[in-house]
A and B are shown apart, each in its own frame.
Chain A
Amino acid sequence: GQQVMQIPQYQHVQEGEDFTTYCNSSTTLSNIQWYKQRPGGHPVFLIQLVKSGEVKKQKRLTFQFGEAKKNSSLHITATQTTDVGTYFCAALTSGTYKYIFGTGTRLKVLA
Chain B
Amino acid sequence: DTEVTQTPKHLVMGMTNKKSLKCEQHMGHRAMYWYKQKAKKPPELMFVYSYEKLSINESVPSRFSPECPNSSLLNLHLHALQPEDSALYLCASSSPGPAGGHEQYFGPGTRLTVT
Output the nearest chain B residue to A10 by Cβ-Cβ distance. B40
Kindly list the 3 A-B residue pairs having the minimum CB-CB distance in the complex, ordered from nearest. A101-B42, A42-B106, A50-B99
Contact with A along B85-98 (1 / 0, CB 8 A): 00000101010011
A98 touches B56 (CB 8 A): yes
- A50–B101 touching, CB < 8 Å: yes
**Bound: A41/B6 CA distance, A:** 13
Number of interface residues of A (CB under 8 A): 26
Chain B residues with CB under 8 Å of A16's CB are: none
Taking CB atoms, residues of chain B closer than 8 Å to A97 are 31, 33, 48, 50, 55-56, 94, 102
Question: Is there contact, CB below 8 Å, between B48 and A30?
Answer: no
A33 interface residue per 8 A CB criterion = yes
- Which chain A residue shows the least CB distance to B100? A30
Q: Does A102 contact B101, Cβ atoms closer than 8 Å?
A: no
Per the CB 8 Å criterion, the residue count for chain B at the interface is 28
Q: Is the CB of B56 within 8 A of A43?
A: no
- A45/B42 in contact, CB under 8 A: no
The docked-state distance in angstroms from the alpha carbon of A85 to that of B115 is 29
Question: In whole angstroms, how far apart are the Cα atoms of A86 and B45 in the complex?
Answer: 18
Bound CA–CA A33/B101 (angstroms)? 9
Smallest Cβ-Cβ distance to A31: which chain B residue? B101
Indicate which residue in B40, B42, B90, B102 contacts A42 across the interface (CB closer than 8 Å): B90
A90 to B97, CA, bound (A): 15
Determine whether the beta carbon of B109 is less than 8 Å from that of A42.
yes
Minimal Cβ-Cβ distance residue in B for A9: B40
A residues 53-111 touching B (CB-CB < 8 Å): 88, 90, 92, 94-104, 106
21 contacts between A and B (CB under 8 A): A31-B99, A31-B101, A33-B103, A33-B104, A42-B106, A42-B109, A45-B103, A48-B103, A90-B104, A92-B102, A94-B100, A96-B48, A97-B56, A97-B94, A98-B56, A99-B33, A99-B45, A99-B104, A101-B43, A104-B41, A106-B40
